[in-house]
């Protein structure tokens, strides 16, 4: 594995806090839109996604097998997921009866390997347009570059 690039503090994103990088990313993303009702980071560990820091109601889905639900599908298909209406997904794992749409953006390292994902639920159908996707993808990219060792 190549050594981590030393990053000058001037190069750090405004949201980044070195003692809590995942938590600071969650807090920042949660503040991007009032339509974001739940924001969390799942960390990929083997064939499971494990829930890390999150803001919102507690979730019983703390460990998700790859391929299960929207989060697991994102990893299995190696693609972000933007689900305008979760009721139309057969494999949706309901975290809340109020959730109507979900956005999952993969976090990748510099070599493109999946490290985890940012998962966002909204009570609003179709809550995630191109602007929201772009904002979250930017944070996911920055987080992948700064991923804790």
Q: Whole-model pTM?
A: 0.89
**Predicted local confidence at residue 47, as pLDDT:** 97
SS3 (DSSP) at 122: strand
Closest CA to 114 of 59, 63, 67, 74: 74
- Catalogue all structural domains in the chain, each as residue range(s) with its CATH number: 9-145 (3.30.450.40)
Structure confidence by residue, pLDDT tens digits, 70-97: 999 999 999 999 999 988 877 766 677 7
pLDDT tens digits, one per residue of 40-57: 999 999 999 999 999 999
């Amino acid at each position: 594995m190549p050594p981590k690039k030393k990053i000058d503090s001037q190069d750090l994103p405004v949201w980044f806090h070195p003692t809590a990088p995942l938590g600071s990313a969650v807090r920042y993303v949660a503040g991007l839109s009032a339509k974001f009702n739940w924001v969390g980071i799942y960390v990929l560990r083997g064939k499971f996604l494990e829930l890390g820091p999150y803001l919102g109601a507690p979730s019983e889905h703390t460990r998700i097998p790859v391929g299960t639900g929207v989060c697991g599908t994102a990893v299995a298909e190696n693609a972000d997921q933007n689900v305008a209406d979760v009721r139309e997904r057969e494999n949706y794992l309901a975290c809340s009866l109020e959730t109507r749409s979900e956005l999952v953006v993969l976090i990748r390292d510099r070599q493109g390997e999946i490290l985890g994902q940012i998962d966002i639920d909204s009570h609003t159908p179709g809550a995630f347009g191109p602007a929201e996707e772009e904002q979250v993808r930017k944070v996911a990219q920055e987080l992948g570059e700064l991923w804790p060792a």
